[in-house]
Amino acid sequence: MKDIPLKERIILALDVETPEQARELVKKTESHLGFYKVGLQLFMADWFQTVDWLVDRGHKVMLDLKFFDIPETVKLAVAQLRSHGVSLATVHGNDPIIRAALEEKHGHDPVH
């Protein structure tokens, strides 16, 4: 069983319309929380800017984009997250899709 730090036990969903609203919410809660979810609406508003801002402030990010495509495309999408410090990402699909995402996440090591 992992010992999860108290600040990371709750993931606050930044389900707001604008990056400005998200940043305001983070600033109000970051003294107690350290893990935030960026969903499709917020991500589309400014792409990786909010994700990068959160990571730069020392927070963990769950990117909830529900990747679902052919395995190679999902693998390439997960690879894009590495340079942005994303801690979790949502992936939907069958076994080959999930395996491709895990393979990329784990640096091309076989996944069992």
Active site residue 60: no
Sequence-separated (6 or more) residues with CB below 8 Å from residue 79: 104
Could you read off the pLDDT of 72-102 as tens digits, one per residue?
Answer: 999 999 999 989 999 999 999 889 989 999 9
**Residue 43 binned pLDDT confidence (cut-offs 50, 70, 90):** very high
Q: Is residue 39 part of a domain?
A: yes
**Residue 15 binned pLDDT confidence (cut-offs 50, 70, 90):** very high
| Start-to-end CA span in the chain (Å) | 20
Domain membership of residue 68 as a residue range: 7-105
- For 8-35, give one letter per residue: b (16+ CB within 10 A) or e: eeebbebebeebeebbebbeeebeebbb
38 strand-pairing partners: 63
Of 28, 60, 66, 105, the catalytic one is 66
**Residue 110 binned pLDDT confidence (cut-offs 50, 70, 90):** very low
- Gyration radius from the chain CA atoms: 15
pLDDT, residue 63, reads 97
Q: Is residue 63 part of a domain?
A: yes
pLDDT, residue 112, reads 41
Structural domains of the chain, count: 1
Cβ–Cβ under 8 Å, residues 66 and 90: yes
Question: What CATH number corresponds to the domain at position 93?
Answer: 3.20.20.70
Strand arrangement of the beta sheet that strand 35-39 belongs to: 12-13, 35-39, 60-67, 88-91
Crossing angle of helices 71-82 and 95-105, in 10° steps, is 30
pLDDT above 70: percentage of residues in the chain: 94
